[in-house]
Amino acid sequence: MKLVALFLAGAGVTSAYTIAVAEPFMEKNIDPIVIPGKYVSHLHTFFGSDAVTANTTTSKELQAGCSSADNPNDYSSYWVPTLVWKNDDGRQSPVPISRFSAYYVDIEHAEVAIPQDYRGVVGNASGNTQADVPALAGHSWFCEDCPEDPGKQPAEFPRKTCSTHLQTILLFHDCVNPETLESDYSGTHHWTDDFKPANRCPQGMKRMPRLRFSIRYDLREVLPGGWEGTPPLELACGNSFCFHGDFINGWLPEAAENMLLANDKREFAPVDGPAGPANAGSVCGAENAEDADPENGTNDYLDSQRILKEAVSVNQGTVMNASNGGSGRKRRARRANVQY
């Protein structure tokens, strides 16, 4: 598939990389990075450490949980907007996930390990068109191992039935300031006439391993009749262009440093650590990962949409009430609203 080949070349998959495969363990209307402490987010599907809650901020918190990742040293939290399919009776249900893979690529270029407490969000949760999708996020939807549809936009859902899996990919930042934890994509777009760092990062940042999400969804049972044109699918955030990914680093510090041992002479490098070798599996058993805060929030798609609409309505009311009390309050309310 031409599109995939081009992406893999750009993502550095032919160079040093490692993989952590994680099972989904919950859907929930939280986002501890974007809307901390609240239960008003669109629905997300979570992978990795089950210690994640609406209030999680640190790696140490995640490392106290049970991880659904197959590498026993990875307690990271990974999440994406839930993909749902529309049933004939009008109900909407999450699409089964065949495999979630967290690739860490371009390791031979890394100068530092992914820092503890690092958090990242990439993509555009408000995206409605291809133009809204950040180009450096490398986001695309496609049918695994199927011929490319030349008329389809990269981040558009496939326009014909997938005979295999529906797959999506997303690239995270690979530059980080180890002190402030700010991050960005590397590239020559950061260069100026008098600033051309070899690592292609903004000033004050260093290269770290680049995280890439690869998710395969299985539609064969839920949509046995397939589709032609627009598929009966939607993301909790909207259409295909709003896909995004969130990440809080939970790798044990020793393992995060071991990840840097990969080099350009060794394409795949397993990451061992204090919890065991890379292939040892979850310490607690991936099947035992569960919601750490079951009394709050919801895992129901329609319920989450209702809560979200109510929250937006309340915010809009706040904006209107604040309009006579100063433009600063009005702008803040609008920015908060955009995050949902």
Res 323: pLDDT: 45
Task: Give me the tens of pLDDT residue by residue for the chain, a chain 340 residues long.
Answer: 434 343 344 444 457 899 999 999 999 999 999 999 999 999 999 999 999 999 999 999 999 999 999 999 999 999 999 999 988 777 899 999 999 999 999 999 999 999 999 999 999 999 999 999 999 999 999 999 888 888 999 999 999 999 999 999 999 999 999 999 999 999 988 898 888 889 999 999 999 999 999 999 999 989 999 999 999 999 999 999 999 999 999 999 999 999 999 876 568 999 999 999 999 999 999 999 999 999 999 999 999 999 999 988 777 654 444 444 443 333 332 223 333 3
E strands within the chain?
A: 18-22, 24-28, 44-48, 77-81, 83-86, 92-94, 97-105, 119-123, 140-143, 166-171, 175-176, 183-184, 206-207, 210-217, 233-235, 244-248
How is residue 149 written in tokens? 């549809």
**Block residue for tokens 């839920």:** 222
One DSSP character per residue, 83-95 reads EEEE-TTS-EEEP
- Is the CB of residue 103 less than 8 Å from the CB of residue 212? yes
**Block residue for tokens 């319920």:** 303
Phi, psi of 253 (to 5 degrees): -50, -40
User: What is the SS3 assignment for 294-333?
Assistant: CCCCCCCHHHHHHHHHHHHHHHHHHHHHHCCCCHHHHHHH
